[in-house]
Amino acid sequence: MSTAPMVPRRMRHPARGFTLIELMVALTIGLVILAAALSVFATSSRSSQLSELETQLNEDGILALNLVQQQLKQAGYSQQRIPSSGATVMGNYAGPAVRGCDGGFTDAGAAFDKLACTKGDGSDAIAIRYEATTDNTMPQLTDPTLATNCLGNAINPLTPSQVEPPPTPAPGMPPPAAYALADNRYLVTGAGTAPMLSCRGMEKRNTGNAIGLSQPLLANVEHMQVLYGVASRPSAELAATYDPLRHQIVDYLDATHVDDLPVTGTLSDNTEDRWGRVLSVRVCLLMRSERPVRDVPEGGMAYKQCDNTDETGTDGYLRRTYTTTVLLRNRVIAP
C-alpha cells in the first residue's frame, strides 16, 4: 500500500494578503493620523514663532522707552561749581529743556531756536537739551575728558555766550563757566520698509559744535507720539521754592498746541516762554515685530494706535504700543 507524501502544516492553508477594502481603511486611518500630527506640528510651530516674536517685540519696546526716558530725565539739567566751597548749583544752562514737533522737524539739523515743524500725520520728533558731562553721557574713547551726544560723539565745551545767552548769576556767584550743551533730536526714520528710532546730536566740529547727521539707534520703531504736560507759566530753571503756576501740570498738549499757547510775557523769547512751561513728557512708541508672522489670520493682525484707536495690519507684522510719562526733574519742584 502506497502512502501519500506528508504536506507540511504551513502549506495546507496558503497565505492570503489584505483585501482592497482593508488596504483602503488602513490607508485612510494612516492619513488621518498623519494629518492630525501635521496640524499639531503646524500649530505648535506657529505658537512658538508668535511667542518668540512677542518676546522680542517686548524687549525692543522696553529698550526704546528706557533710552528715551533716560534722556528725558536729564532734560534741562545744568550745574555750576562754586570755587570757594566746591558745591554745585544750577547756573550754566537755563533754556528750554525740550522742543517738539508734530509730524517731525522740517529740518532736524537746524539750530534749536530755528526748528520748524512739518505738522503732518507722520511720526513726532523731539529735541532734548541739557548740560552734558563725562558723568551723564557715554564715555568718549579718543578723549575721555569730553562729554558726548546721543550717538557717543564728542561735544566741545564752550563759553555760555557761544552756546546760549547765559543766565544772570545770583548775587555772589561767579559767572557761568564753559560747558558742553547736549542737543539731541529723536525722530523715526525709514517709515514703511525699515522703521527705526534715530538721533541727531550736537557734536564737536573743530573748535566749535554743530548738529551731526542722523544715525539709527533702535530698529522696528514704527511711530512716535509725544504729549507735553504744561504749567500755567514758564520756569526757565529749577527754582528754590514751589510755585503752583510754574510747577503744577494743568494740561497735556501736543506740540502744535504748545506752540499755540498764549505768551505770558515772563520771558523775552516766545518759544522759550511756551516750551519753558513743559514739566513732563508722555511718549508713546508703536513697535512692530522683526519679521512678519506666518499664516496671517484672514481678518489681519489687530492692534491699538498711540491714540488708543483700533487698527488692523494686513502685512503680517505684530504691533504693540509702549507708553511712558517722564517728569522733568530739573524743572519740577514738589509742593
Among candidate residues 55, 67, 105, 53, the one with its CA nearest the CA of residue 324: 67
Q: Is the pLDDT of residue 334 over 60?
A: yes
Q: What is the pLDDT of residues 45-54, one digit of tens each?
A: 666 667 788 8
The answer, yes or no, to whether residue 41 has pLDDT greater than 70, is no
The β-bridge relationship of strands 88-89 and 98-101 is unpaired
Residues 17 and 24: their CA atoms lie apart, in Å, by 13
**Confidence band for 169, pLDDT divided at 50, 70 and 90:** low
87 pLDDT higher than 90: no
Question: Taking the C-alpha atoms of 263, 267, 272 and 275 in order, what is their torsion angle to the nearest 10 degrees?
Answer: -60
Q: What percent of the chain has pLDDT over 90?
A: 49
Across 5-20, average pLDDT: 60
C-beta pairs of 143-146 under 8 Å, 24+ apart in sequence: 146/180, 146/204
Task: Give yes or no for residue 85 having a pLDDT over 60.
Answer: no
pLDDT band at 171 (very low <50, low <70, confident <90, very high): low
pLDDT the model gives residue 48 = 67
Contact status, residue 108 vs residue 187, Cβ threshold 8 Å: yes
What pLDDT score was predicted for residue 298? 75
Give per-residue burial for 218-237: e unless 16+ CB within 10 Å, then b. bebbbbbbbbbbbbbbbbbb
Distances (CA, A) of 136 to 5, 21, 49, 207, 275: 107, 81, 39, 22, 23
Where do the H-state alpha helices sit in the chain?
9-12, 20-74, 160-163, 244-247, 255-259, 270-275
DSSP per position, 216-273: EEEE-EEEEEEEEEE-SS--SS--SS--HHHHS--EEE-HHHHHTSPP-SSSSSHHHH
> Does residue 13 carry a pLDDT above 70?
no
pLDDT at position 70 is 95
> Would the pLDDT of 4 be above 60?
no
State the Cα–Cα distance between residues 34 and 174, nearest whole angstrom: 84
pLDDT in tens, 109-122: 999 989 999 988 88
Tell me the per-residue pLDDT of 175-231, one tens digit each, with 9 for 90 and over.
Answer: 777 899 999 999 999 877 889 999 999 999 988 999 999 999 999 999 999 999 999
| This model's pTM is above 0.85 | no
Mean pLDDT of all residues in 132-139 = 92
pLDDT in tens, 147-161: 999 999 999 999 887
215-258 residue pLDDT tens: 999 999 999 999 999 999 988 666 778 888 989 999 999 999 99
Judged by DSSP in three states, 48 sits in helix
Mean pLDDT of 20-27: 78
For residue 213, is it left (φ>0), alpha (ψ between -120 and 50) or beta?
beta
Q: Are 321 and 309 in contact (CB under 8 A)?
A: no
265-312, pLDDT tens digit by residue?
Answer: 877 788 889 999 999 999 999 999 988 887 777 778 889 999 999 999
Cα separation, 122 vs 200, in Å, equals: 18
